[in-house]
Structure formats: C-alpha cells, structure tokens
Chains A and B, each alone.
Chain A
C-alpha cells in the first residue's frame, strides 16, 4: 500500500455539529500531518505528529482537535466550526519522522454552513 487515504471525500456540517476527518497510511511512515488549503493558496500546516507524539500545533483554534491513535491513523475532530473554516483538509505523511519527503492524501472538502 503506497498511498495516504482520507475519508470522507466531502463533508458538509453546520456550525453546531461535531464531525471527524480520518487519515490512514500503511507505508510505515513515522510522521503525519494535517494541512488546511484554501482556494488558490498553498497548503497551510496545522498539526504534526512525529512518532505518534504531537510535535507542532501551529496556533490552530481549539475547535480543531487532532488525534493519533496509532502510527497508521490520524484523526481531526471538528466542533463548532465557522464558515471561514470551509476548505480542503489535507493529510500527509513522511517516512523518517518530521521533515523530508511528504506524501499527501486526496483531501477532504469541508463546507461549514
């Protein structure tokens, strides 16, 4: 298995909902990332887990909560989001911990109503 998978592909949620995004990789990579990407902009780093420990939290609002249950799985829990949080949420992984080659998943398109 040589890819990063993300579910769901699309998600529409209200501002009072709680939802979760899921990311999986079975390449044995030891770092996993969450990025947010707005239209016509580069990906913006949100969180990094390196060896299953949260390494970086780029001053992301607490309505976004990451979780790394094991080395293959990364979740992003969403609660009380705002319409401006609508974006493409990308997961990535890299082989030897933080830094070096990063491989991105297809993303989850999130719309907050």
Chain B
C-alpha cells in the first residue's frame, strides 16, 4: 500500500514537444504529491507539488494533473527543452503525517529532449 508506481522508465521527446510522466499510488491517506527534478550528480530539486483539493496546478511550463478517484497524478512539461533533460521522481506522502509523513518515491523517469 505504500508503493508509488511511475511510468515510463525513460522518455525521449523532441524539442518543443510535450513530456508526460505518470504516477499511481495506493494509500488513500496520501495528501501531498511532489515532483522532483534531478540532474546527474546533483540533489533532487522540488519542481512542483499538489494537494488533493485541486485537480490541476500549473507553474510555467510544468503542470500537475491529479485524479483522486483513480489515485493517479501526472507531470506535463509543455514546450520541452534540452535543458529539461533530467531524471524526474514523483513522490507521495501525508503532508502533516509526522512519523507517517515520509516521502514515498517512484522509481524515476529519465527524460531526454532532443534538439
């Protein structure tokens, strides 16, 4: 019940295209869904996050779509750029969960944006 399943494992997109990464969770107690972007040799950077009171959140070219009934959420990167090439991790947790609030990570998606 603690798993977060992320797909695809790798993704190749042309410059200017839309990148879509999907995640599914099982634990209905999760109420915080962040996405992290990680470049090789660097720490993960918090990119965007959503709480279940909204179905979509947009920040610049990055959008999270959230489907509570399906227990799924996805990251859309519009107008993908070569600089977006990185590994993306979705995660889920209980926002005020205290000792139950640890991030459960998906396995990651390696995105390559071709010029």
A residues near B (Cβ < 8 Å) are: 4, 6, 40-43, 45, 48, 50, 55-56, 88, 90, 96-107, 109
Chain B: interface residue total (CB-CB under 8 A): 28
Output the residue of B42, B49, B87 with the most chain A CB within 10 A. B42
B residues near A (Cβ < 8 Å) are: 32, 34, 36, 41-46, 49, 87, 89, 93-103, 105-108, 110
A100 to B87 Cα, complex, angstroms: 22
Q: Is the CB of B102 within 8 A of A101?
A: no
Q: Is the CB of A56 within 8 A of B99?
A: yes
Q: What is the distance, in angstroms, from B4's C-beta to the closest C-beta of chain A?
A: 9
A44 to B44 Cα, complex, angstroms: 12
Closest to A10 in B: B41
B103: contacting residue among A4, A6, A102, CB under 8 A? A102
Residues of B within 8 A of A41 (CB): 107-108
Q: Is the CB of A55 within 8 A of B99?
A: yes
Closest to A4 in B: B43
Extra A-B contacts (10), CB below 8 Å, given A40-B108, A90-B43, A99-B94:
A40-B110, A42-B89, A42-B105, A42-B107, A43-B44, A90-B44, A99-B102, A101-B34, A106-B42, A107-B42
Residues of B within 8 A of A90 (CB): 43-44
Q: What is the distance, in angstroms, from B101's C-beta to the closest C-beta of chain A?
A: 2
Closest to A42 in B: B105
Q: What is the distance, in angstroms, from A58's C-beta to the closest C-beta of chain B?
A: 9
Asked whether A45 and B102 contact (CB < 8 A) given A100-B96, A103-B46, the answer is: yes
A106 to B38 Cα, complex, angstroms: 10
B32: contacting residue among A6, A100, A104, CB under 8 A? A100
A98 to B94 Cα, complex, angstroms: 10
Q: Is the CB of B44 within 8 A of A56?
A: no
Q: Is the CB of A99 within 8 A of B44?
A: no
Q: Is the CB of A97 within 8 A of B98?
A: yes
Asked whether A99 and B100 contact (CB < 8 A) given A41-B108, A43-B105, the answer is: yes
Q: Is the CB of B43 within 8 A of A48?
A: no
Residues of B within 8 A of A98 (CB): 97-99, 101-102
